[in-house]
Structure 1
């Protein structure tokens, strides 16, 4: 038991360092490029490289892990991510920045695959619900904490980039000190194409896509919007922190509602209210800072909940053994949205000004609302009594469907197998 607790602490610490460094870097780059005078269209083009890389890393990152083992692969990916981070101040070439974001997406996705395979190995039927919940909390807190780091340094200097690189490399340390054996990383057996998933659960797939449009645009362009509309570096830090914390706070009451009302109705309400909150961010762009913080917190809190509701709607119509395949499909749909959103809205901002960002996001959420109404007419929602239990899901990282409490295909590994002969641990 003592080794299990120590290993869990090591896993959560590595996860926190990785997510805080990655979230800090995403906001920092959007703000830094804006302060450098880079136009919004170029910033959007550069930032979508991360989403493209993330899809590649989530799909193929396991190849290196299988060849050299978890710890070596984790060290390699973290080192490459840190090196890519340190290259930004060395060049002004946009194509190099884009390539660095692609590399960052690949390495971060592969690092999540490594950590989460360890979580899956540690989980048992008795504790996987608790581990899953703790994973959600640590993810949100680390992402929010990463936003606060923006205020500590000058975004235009090399220091914050060095700090982001330090956090990414530091994530190696706790995991490397764990006494647990490297778990098996098997190829996923089930696969559902995005087209097949759309035919089965169109509302879930479209909801994941729109969520990707919103959250991808949020991390890529909201720091730029905040800077262009008069917020200084300290205020941008608090602005982003409030938004991420709101996503965590809103998750619980929305989850409670999802277990008591039809989920398509919840998705409709989130889309309509989220669009109103987007418009409020535009209307309050010249108001007092406190009102702007409240507006972005409500906007992010409502809109970030669209993805877990889409996941819940999908799982209501899927067999429990299909959760892993369905989660992969929804992540792909989300990632496509995270590519399209920043690309479209960055060029709209370049042509129409910063206010066009939240106007565009409001339109996207309204379209989601109209599509939800259309699907409700074509296919009546599942009765509340037949819905699966709601489980929150975070699209910003590669989810862990292996330990999703609803996954009946979960295979428990005897704990003694994970720590047998700890002197044999991987080096």
Structure 2
């Protein structure tokens, strides 16, 4: 592992700087939108636009890399991100923000595809699973740390938009000067949505619902916090607690996943998320209770993505896993696109409490459907299931393929023993 870190530290540092910029700008927009007088509905479109671009980038970037190479794609997309970030305070129009967010989402998706290709190339067979874990932790730490930077400036000014732009620009240096481009990767075998439904209805439904949850946390948390009158430090801490929860619980839930019926664990984790949502609804003026709710929701819903992927992969062959992961990623993106719009509409009708109400409703649906699937389909034995890999909804198809390779290698090692 030390050899991997010595060769990949620059890549991980660059990813950390990228996530500092991304995590900071997402929360900042929720605050600045209120200052600009944008409605909740308008901000929901702004937040949804990121996921529209992200989904497009995950589809088109591999072809861009094949045509011009990793280095050029990374440099071009990261440059666009840096430029777009400083346009937000210049153009105070919600529809302009929507367009900018589509571009940023597209570019970040492409940057992740490129960086994760390098990550795969830097890891050996023995370190691939650990490398993916390091990558996820670096991503989460970047988003958490980004929330602390927000308290250093005035969100009504220009400086807080310049900082993430500079962070993104600086991230070029350690990555482009230190890593070797990977060979062009082959297109994975696709998995059709009908086939995916036949293989794992729970994976299909759960991933769409979870996309809506992720959009609520990554896109609308700051909008909600602003609506109820939180201060800037409170908003930063509230958003950070979502990702602290994700880091703390990811690996314990993964440990359980390899030792019990995954559908039961999906049910239990969904119920935990329901209680977290209800905790947030009890008293919107109780900041401590809101922090607990954020921690529980982040700590339950983020590992659910990995759980659903692992559960679905239990029913497909190894050569179908990459295509399955790509289909699930697309479904997650569909849920993420619609999520902010539904939340914005609900908050307009019922007030800020609908933010938690929306998440409770999604997790109730997932818990109910998991119970139904347990009643009509027998679970595979624990010995027949694959290994759990800690993944985040922000990962590209490349990282999902890295996880697939690591899972196959872990299974082969277990069989050899």
TM-score for both structures, normalised by structure 2: 0.93
| Counterpart in the other structure of 2:415 | none
| Counterpart in the other structure of 1:216 | 215
For residues 81-127 of structure 1, give each alpha carbon's deviation from its aligned partner in whole angstroms, at most 9, with x where no partner exists.
11111111111222211110100011001101111111111222122
Q: C-alpha distance in 1, partners of 2:288/2:94?
A: 35
Q: C-alpha distance in 1, partners of 2:295/2:138?
A: 19
Q: Summarize the alignment of residues 243-282 of structure 1 with structure 2, pairs less than 5 Å apart.
A: 243-282=242-281
Q: Summarize the alignment of residues 250-329 of structure 1 with structure 2, pairs less than 5 Å apart.
A: 250-287=249-286, 289-329=287-327
Give yes or no for contact 2:246–2:298 (8 Å, CA) kept in 1.
yes
Q: Summarize the alignment of residues 49-64 of structure 1 with structure 2, pairs less than 5 Å apart.
A: 49-64=49-64
Cα root mean square deviation, aligned: 1.9
Give yes or no for contact 1:320–1:409 (8 Å, CA) kept in 2.
no
The offset of 1:356, in angstroms, is 1.1
Give yes or no for contact 2:36–2:92 (8 Å, CA) kept in 1.
no
Change (3 A) 1:36 1:55: same
Aligned residues: 408
Give yes or no for contact 2:125–2:409 (8 Å, CA) kept in 1.
no
Q: Summarize the alignment of residues 58-73 of structure 1 with structure 2, pairs less than 5 Å apart.
A: 58-73=58-73
For residues 272-331 of structure 1, give each alpha carbon's deviation from its aligned partner in whole angstroms, at most 9, with x where no partner exists.
2211211111113112x2232122111221122211110110111121222211111111
Q: Summarize the alignment of residues 319-398 of structure 1 with structure 2, pairs less than 5 Å apart.
A: 319-398=317-396
Give yes or no for contact 2:80–2:107 (8 Å, CA) kept in 1.
yes
| Counterpart in the other structure of 2:189 | 190
| Counterpart in the other structure of 2:143 | 143
Greater mean deviation of Cα atoms: 64-73 or 205-214: 64-73
- Secondary structure of 2:164's aligned partner: helix
| Counterpart in the other structure of 1:423 | none
- Secondary structure of 1:77's aligned partner: helix
For residues 369-405 of structure 1, give each alpha carbon's deviation from its aligned partner in whole angstroms, at most 9, with x where no partner exists.
1111111122122222322121111112325133221
The offset of 1:185, in angstroms, is 2.2
Give yes or no for contact 1:207–1:310 (8 Å, CA) kept in 2.
yes
Task: Give 5+ residue unaligned stretches, structure 2.
Answer: 412-417
- Secondary structure of 1:211's aligned partner: helix
Change (3 A) 1:121 1:331: same
Give yes or no for contact 1:260–1:384 (8 Å, CA) kept in 2.
yes
Q: C-alpha distance in 1, partners of 2:5/2:255?
A: 30
Give yes or no for contact 1:120–1:403 (8 Å, CA) kept in 2.
yes
Q: Does 1:13 pair with 2:13?
A: yes
Q: C-alpha distance in 2, partners of 1:243/1:82?
A: 26
The offset of 1:338, in angstroms, is 0.3
